[in-house]
Amino acid sequence: MTINTLSQDGVQRQQMSCLTKMERMVISMQDPDMGIKLRNQRLLITVIPHAMTGADIVEWLIKKCSISDEEALHIGQIFVKYGYIYPLKEPRNLILKVDDSPYRFQMPYYWMSTRWPASELDYAIYLAKKNIRKQGELIEYEKECYNALHKRINHTWDFVVMQAREQLRASKQRRKADRIVLKCQEQAYWLVNRPPPGTLDSIDHGPERRTMNTRYLLKRTLTITLCEGLTRLCVCVCSYVKYCEQYQPHDPIMQGCLPSIPWITDDIMFWNMNCETVAVPTKLRVERWSFSFMELLNDPMGRKEFLTYLKKEFSAENLCFWQACEDVRHGETSKIPEKVDEVYKQFLTPGASRWVNIDSKTMEKTLEGLKRPHRFVLDDAQMHIYFLMKKDSYPRYLKSDLYKNLFARAIVPQETKKSVFPFMRRQRHSSPSPALATQAAEDDGKAKNSNSFKSNSGTASRR
Amino acid sequence: MGEMEQLRKEAESLKDEITAARKAVQDLTLQDHVAGTAVVGRVQLKTRKTLRGHLSKIYAVHWGDSKLCVSASQDGKLIVWDSYTTNKVHAIPLKSSWVMTCSYAPSGNMVACGGLDNMCSIYNLKGKDGNVKVMRELAAHTGYLSCCRFLNDNEIITSSGDCTCVLWDIETGSQKTVFAGHLGDCMSLGVAPDFNTFISGACDFTAKLWDIRDGQCRQTFGGHESDINAIGFFPNGNAVITGSDDASCKLYDLRSDQELITYQDSGIMCGVTSLAPSLSGRLILAGYDDFNCNIWDSLKAERVGVLSGHDNRVSCIGVTPDGMACCTGSWDSFLKIWN
C-alpha cells in the first residue's frame, strides 16, 4: 500500500488506516475455509459465480465477531458503502439487504486503498465506454460530468476514446458471465467514487458521522486483535532471565572482557581481534552466532560463513535474496524501482538463475505489488525466506562441521595485564552489595570469584 | 448526542476488556521467578575519560560505534569525538544554538540534530572535500524537536513538542509517515533492534509502540505519574524501559502488554532524565536530576551502583554498541566515559 504524503486533509490518512483494517476483514471473509460460503447465483438468465447473499454476510459477521444482528448489519453496510462488496441486483442502491439478494466481493484492483483518489482520466474512459456501447445510456448527471470532462481534458480526448474502444473490444471476447461481472465491478467502483448528486458520499471528509463510523469499526477490530495476542507472564519473564544469563559473558560492564577492556588498560587488542576482517574470530563471537538467527546475520563475518555453508547446500540464493531485500528496505528511495526490478529478474522470474522458493500465495501477492514498487513491497517474500532459513538452514548450520571447526579454531584471547602498575585489574563483583547481608549473597559472590580464577588459569595454560 | 454517548460507553467497556485481558495472563509474579537468579553484587564504574570542549550545557549524546560519539550543546556546537583518544574529530557550528537532541547514523556517514528551531538538520560527515556540511533541513514540525534517531542513511524518525513523531525520507526531505496519537509533547523515542517498530514517550504520561510500516500505534503503556523523559528498548526487543519525572523507571513487557517492574527508591526524589540498558540488559543506567546516575539490576529492581562525578544535572547517557563503556553528558559541559 502506498503511503500518501501529508495533504491538507489529515483525515484522509486516518481513513487509510481504517481502510487497511477493513481490507483485512474482507480478506478473511474470502478465506476458502473460514470465510463466507460462495456459490453461483442466478441473475436473470445468466449464472454468476462466487456470489453470496446478504443474509450470508450478516451471519458470518455475527459468528466471527460475536456481535448482535444490528451491529453486523451496520458493519456490513459500511463494507458496501466503501465499495468492498457490491450488490448484483440493484447496483445503484448501495445498501446491504438481509435476504437472498446476491452480492459479490469487489476485486482488490478497485479497492479504496489502491485506487484512490479516482483519476479523472479513468472516469472519462468509463463514461466514454458507456456512451459508445449504447447511445443515450448515460444518465443525466453522468452526461453533465461527461461534457465537463470533455472540456477539461480535451487535449487527451483522442486517447480517452481510443482506450474506451479498445477496452470494449477486449471485453467482447469474454464470456457473458465474466462480462457482466466486470461491468458490475466497474460500475460499483464508480458509484462509490463518483456518486450521483443527492446520495450520501461515503468518502466525504466532512460529516462527523463518517469519521465516527470508521472509528467505531476501528475500535472493534482493535479488541479482536488484542484479545488474541497476549502472552502469559511466566513465558515473558523466563525469556528475560534467559536473555540476561545468556548475554552476561558478553557484557563487558558486568563481566569484563578478554584480553582486556581498552578503556582501562589502554590496550586496543580487543577491538583489533573483533573487527570485521580478522582471520580467526574469538570464541565468544562464534558462540554468539548460536544465540539467534539475527545475531548471525548482524555480524558480517557470520553472514559470510553462513553463505559458504549455504553454497554447499545449493541454497545460497536465499541469503542473497534476503540481503537484496534489506538493501531495498534501507536504501535510497529513488533507486527502489530499479532495485526491485533487479530482484525480480534475478530471484522471482520463473526460470531465473537464482530463483527462490516462495509459496504461490506470497508469490502472487508480491508480483501484484511489483506493479507499484515501494519500500516494503518485498517484505512478505523476504519474511518467508527469512523463516525458511531460520527454521531449516540455520539449525543445520549450527550442527555442521563448518561451524564446529570454526568454533574449535576460534581463539580465547589471553588476558593482558597492565605491566606499568603493580596492582592487577580490580576483580568485579568481589563484594556483595551492602544492602544484601544474607549468607546466600556472600556464597554467590565467592562462587563467582572462583569461576573467574578458573577461566584465567585456563587461558594461561592454553598458550 | 446519542451516538457520542454510545461511543463513550463503548470506549469504557473496551478499556475494561483490555484490563481484564492483561490480568488474565498474570499467572506469576516477577519476584517469585527471579528469586533464583544470581545476585549482581556491587557494580563500580570509574571515569576513564573526560571529554572537555563544550562551553555550555550538554543536552544530548549518541554513540556511533565503539569509539565515536556525537554530542550537542547549547553553545551551538555539535562535536564528534573519538572518545578513546579524546580528540575532536569534527566540531560543527550550528545555525541555531538551541539544540536538544543529536543522533549518529548507524553507517557513520551522517549526524543529525534539532531543537527549538523545529527542524532536524542532517549533516554529511563524509563529504568529498572533507568539510562537514548541512545535507538536509527537515522542516515541518510545529513544535520543538525533542529526539531524532536514524533508521538508515535514508530514513530518520523524529519526535516533537507538537505531539507527533514523523518518519522522514532524507533524500527528498519529505514526511513519509506521521505518527499522531499522543496527547502531550513527545519527549523521546527509541528504535527496536529489528527496525520494524519504535517507541515514544510523551508528556501525557504514556509510552506508545508504533509500527513503522503502517503508521499504527500498536500498544500504549500507562502507569507513570508524570512526564516520560527517557525511553529505550530492552536489548531483546521484547520490553520497553521508561524513565519519568516521577523519579521512577518502569519496564513494560510488549508481549503481555503490561508493566512488569518499577525501579524506584524512597531516597530518590528527582526526575529521570535519560536511561540506557547494558548489553545483556541486566543493568539499567539512568541519569537523574540530582547530578548522579544510578545503576539498577533490571531483574531484581535493586540499585547496584552509582556514578557520581558530575557537578550538574546528568542530561544524557548512552552505552556503546559493544557494551564496553557508557558515556554521560551533563549540564556542567563535560562528558565522562565510565567503565
How many residues are recorded in chain B? 339
Dihedral sign (CA A421, A427, A428, A434): negative
Selecting from B7, B27, B49 the residue whose C-beta is nearest the C-beta of A216 gives B7
Cβ atoms of A79 and A85 within 8 Å: the answer is: yes
**Residue A453 counted as domain residue:** no
Residue A455: pLDDT band (50, 70, 90) is: very low
Alpha helix stretches (DSSP H) within A154-195: 157-172, 176-193
How far is Cα A426 from Cα B337, in angstroms, rounded to an integer?
A: 18
Q: Is A17 on the interface with B (CB under 8 A)?
A: yes
Selecting from B28, B67, B172 the residue whose C-beta is nearest the C-beta of A333 gives B172
Selecting from A212, A332, A376 the residue whose C-beta is nearest the C-beta of B171 gives A332
How far is Cα B120 from Cα A9, in angstroms, rounded to an integer?
A: 24
pLDDT, tens digit, 9 for 90 and up, residues A126-180: 888 888 877 667 777 788 888 888 877 777 778 888 888 888 888 888 787 777 7
CATH code of the domain containing A290: 1.10.167.10
Q: Is A275 on the interface with B (CB under 8 A)?
A: no
Mutate to test the interface with A, among B42, B110, B220, B251 (most CBs of A within 10 A): B42
**Residue A385 counted as domain residue:** yes
Q: Which residues of B touch A271 (CB under 8 A)?
A: 66-67
**Residue A144 counted as domain residue:** no
Q: Provide the shortest C-alpha distance from residue B57 to chain A (in Å).
A: 25
User: For residue A326, what are the domain limits?
Assistant: 281-409
Selecting from A3, A332, A432 the residue whose C-beta is nearest the C-beta of B177 gives A3
Q: Which residues of B touch A113 (CB under 8 A)?
A: none
Selecting from B151, B256, B281 the residue whose C-beta is nearest the C-beta of A247 gives B281
How far is Cα A314 from Cα A310, in angstroms, rounded to an integer?
A: 6
Q: Measuring CA to CA, which residue among A98, A10, A8, A109 is closest to residue A52?
A: A98
How far is Cα B200 from Cα B6, in angstroms, rounded to an integer?
A: 31
Q: What pLDDT score was predicted for residue A19?
A: 76
**Residue A310 counted as domain residue:** yes
Mutate to test the interface with B, among A71, A237, A322, A335 (most CBs of B within 10 A): A237
Q: What pLDDT score was predicted for residue B206?
A: 92
Asked if B215's CB is within 8 angstroms of A13's CB, the reply is yes
Q: Provide the shortest C-alpha distance from residue A320 to chain B (in Å).
A: 19
Architecture, CATH, for domain B3-338: 7 Propeller (2.130)
Asked if A232's CB is within 8 angstroms of B175's CB, the reply is no
Strands B272-277 and A39-43: unpaired
Q: Is B306 on the interface with A (CB under 8 A)?
A: no
Q: What pLDDT score was predicted for residue A199?
A: 60
Q: What pLDDT score was predicted for residue A6?
A: 36
Q: Search chain A and give the residue with CA nearest B337.
A: A263
Asked if A428's CB is within 8 angstroms of B38's CB, the reply is no
Mutate to test the interface with A, among B30, B39, B326 (most CBs of A within 10 A): B39
**Residue A309 counted as domain residue:** yes
Q: Across residues A235-254, what is the average pLDDT?
A: 86
Query: Helix, strand, or coil here: B296?
Result: strand
Q: Is A170 on the interface with B (CB under 8 A)?
A: no
Asked if residue A117 has a cis previous peptide bond (ω within 30° of 0), the answer is: yes
pLDDT, tens digit, 9 for 90 and up, residues A108-119: 777 776 666 677
How far is Cα A412 from Cα A259, in angstroms, rounded to an integer?
A: 8
**Residue A131 counted as domain residue:** no
Every domain of chain B and the residues it spans: 3-338
Asked if A6's CB is within 8 angstroms of B178's CB, the reply is yes
Q: Provide the shortest C-alpha distance from residue B255 to chain A (in Å).
A: 5
Q: Is B35 on the interface with A (CB under 8 A)?
A: no
**Residue A133 counted as domain residue:** no
Angle between helices A300-312 and A316-330 (to 10 degrees): 140
Alpha helix stretches (DSSP H) within A230-378: 233-247, 252-255, 262-265, 269-273, 283-288, 293-298, 300-312, 316-330, 336-343, 360-369
pLDDT in tens, chain B (339 residues): 577 788 788 878 887 888 888 888 777 766 777 777 777 788 888 999 999 999 999 999 999 988 899 999 999 999 999 999 999 999 999 999 999 999 999 999 999 999 999 999 999 998 888 888 899 999 999 999 999 999 999 999 999 999 999 999 998 899 999 999 899 999 999 999 989 999 999 999 999 999 998 888 888 999 999 999 999 999 999 999 999 999 999 999 998 888 989 999 998 999 999 999 999 999 999 999 999 999 999 988 889 999 999 999 999 999 999 898 999 999 999 999 998
Cβ atoms of B42 and A431 within 8 Å: the answer is: yes
Asked if A234's CB is within 8 angstroms of B27's CB, the reply is yes
Q: Which residues of B touch A20 (CB under 8 A)?
A: 214
| Residue A405, all three cell numbers | 571447526
Residue A221: pLDDT band (50, 70, 90) is: very low
Helix (H) or strand (E) holding A412: none
Q: What pLDDT score was predicted for residue A219?
A: 56
Q: What pLDDT score was predicted for residue A417?
A: 66
Q: Search chain A and give the residue with CA nearest B324.
A: A252
Average pLDDT of chain A, as a whole number: 75
Q: Is A20 on the interface with B (CB under 8 A)?
A: yes
Q: Provide the shortest C-alpha distance from residue A300 to chain B (in Å).
A: 14
| Higher-scoring residue by pLDDT: B336, A209 | B336
Mutate to test the interface with A, among B174, B191, B280 (most CBs of A within 10 A): B280
**Residue A326 counted as domain residue:** yes
How far is Cα A264 from Cα A286, in angstroms, rounded to an integer?
A: 25
pLDDT, tens digit, 9 for 90 and up, residues A318-376: 999 999 998 888 888 888 888 888 888 888 888 888 888 888 888 888 888 888 888 88
| Residue A324, all three cell numbers | 537484496
Q: What pLDDT score was predicted for residue A198?
A: 59
Asked if B256's CB is within 8 angstroms of A232's CB, the reply is yes
Q: Which residues of A423-448 are buried (b: 16+ CB within 10 A; e: fewer)?
A: eeeeebbeebbeebeeeebeebbeeb
Alpha helix stretches (DSSP H) within A336-438: 336-343, 360-369, 379-388, 394-399, 401-409
Asked if B323's CB is within 8 angstroms of A251's CB, the reply is yes
Q: Provide the shortest C-alpha distance from residue A333 to chain B (in Å).
A: 7
pLDDT, tens digit, 9 for 90 and up, residues A250-307: 888 888 887 788 888 888 888 888 887 788 888 888 888 999 899 899 888 999 999 9
Instruction: Domain count for chain A, please give it.
Output: 1
Residue A277: alpha-carbon gap to chain centroid: 34
Interface of B with A in 123-162 (CB under 8 A): 140, 151-155
Q: Search chain B and give the residue with CA nearest A220.
A: B14
Q: Measuring CA to CA, which residue among B329, B334, B226 is closest to residue B276?
A: B329
Mutate to test the interface with B, among A24, A67, A253, A326 (most CBs of B within 10 A): A253
Q: Which of A5-9, A366-370, A411-415 has the lowest mean pLDDT?
A: A5-9
* Interface predicted TM-score (ipTM): 0.88
Selecting from A238, A252, A330 the residue whose C-beta is nearest the C-beta of B154 gives A330
Interface of A with B in 135-154 (CB under 8 A): none
